[in-house]
């Protein structure tokens, strides 16, 4: 399987044309605001708001649906167990000491909608600009430069390590190795893990030497120019204002 290290293709949209600093600040505040919601009403509206932003930002539908589908699969165990763990509310179904309450279903629904809304906002932020532009905007807004560089390098070279792991798996299968619960299989997996770590360390050292040879001095640079416009401020105010309204509604509930 071939792994593509490139970021999702950014489509032209009203968000893509905005200054990355204002867009990043607006979406981060929106994510924080949605994370604070506790009631199902504001959470459902937040989900609709997040989907509206994704549509406005022309986020690729297949790309978004695939990731939200994986998220929902990961949430299923929690959503199934949660209604049994909330004791308040009216019981809807009982069997001995096990009961499902209406409050438990509401909590599960709120959790599901909040989580999907949060991930949708994050994916919309990632899809409306190349990753290096978003990270440069984070650096301009005061994020630690070391963390910005580590995130960018990790994103870029994790695919290289995955491709290296793929080559090692092919080499093992050619030599007749098959996964099994045996001492030999565990020993082989340990050796492959050690080999991958050693090769990753060697590659990191070569990348470090190459960056220093090219004059890297620890500062993140990009050809992207940042320039604020009234449209950027308006986008920020609309997103933050809508999120503030949801938080105020949730507090009053």
Going from N- to C-terminal start, the domains of the chain cover: 20-130+228-252
Burial class (CB in 10 A: 0-12, 13-18, 19+), 221: exposed
pLDDT by residue for the chain (253 residues), tens only, comes to 344 444 567 778 888 888 889 999 999 999 999 999 988 889 999 999 999 999 998 888 888 888 888 888 988 888 887 777 767 666 666 676 667 777 778 888 888 899 999 999 999 998 888 888 888 888 888 888 888 888 888 877 777 788 888 888 888 888 887 777 778 788 888 888 888 888 888 888 888 888 888 887 767 667 777 888 899 999 999 999 999 999 999 888 7
Terminal CA-CA length for the chain = 50
Beta bridge mates, 99: 94
Q: Assess contact for 53 and 104: CB atoms under 8 A.
A: no
DSSP three-state, residue 100: strand
Distance CA 171, CA 36 (A): 49
Q: What is the DSSP letter of 6?
A: S
Q: Assess contact for 69 and 59: CB atoms under 8 A.
A: no
Whether pTM exceeds 0.75 = yes
Tokens representing 146?
């070391």
Q: What share of the chain is helix, strand, coil (3-state, %, to 5)?
A: 70, 5, 25
């Amino acid at each position: 399987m071939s792994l593509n290290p490139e970021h999702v293709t950014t489509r032209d949209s009203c968000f893509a044309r905005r200054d990355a600093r204002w867009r990043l600040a607006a979406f981060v505040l929106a994510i924080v605001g949605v994370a604070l919601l506790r009631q199902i009403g504001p959470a459902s509206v937040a989900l609709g708001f997040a989907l509206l932003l994704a549509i406005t930002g022309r986020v690729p539908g297949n790309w978004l649906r695939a990731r939200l589908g994986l998220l929902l699969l990961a949430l299923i165990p929690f959503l199934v167990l949660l209604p049994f763990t909330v004791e308040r509310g009216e019981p809807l179904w009982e069997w001995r000491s096990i009961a499902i309450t209406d409050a438990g279903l509401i909590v599960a629904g709120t959790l599901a909608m909040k989580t999907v809304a949060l991930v949708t906002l994050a994916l919309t932020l990632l899809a409306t600009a190349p990753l290096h532009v978003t990270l440069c905007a984070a650096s301009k807004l005061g994020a630690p430069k070391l963390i910005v560089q580590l995130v960018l390098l990790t994103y870029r070279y994790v695919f290289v390590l995955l491709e290296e792991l793929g080559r090692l798996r092919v080499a093992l299968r050619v030599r007749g190795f098959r996964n099994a619960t045996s001492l030999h299989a565990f020993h082989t997996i340990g050796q492959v893990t050690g080999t991958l770590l050693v090769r990753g360390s060697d590659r990191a050292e070569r990348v470090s030497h190459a960056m220093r040879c090219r004059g890297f001095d620890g500062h993140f640079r990009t050809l992207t120019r940042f320039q604020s416009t009234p449209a950027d401020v308006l986008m920020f105010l609309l997103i933050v204002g809508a999120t503030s309204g949801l938080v105020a509604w949730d507090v009053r509930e």
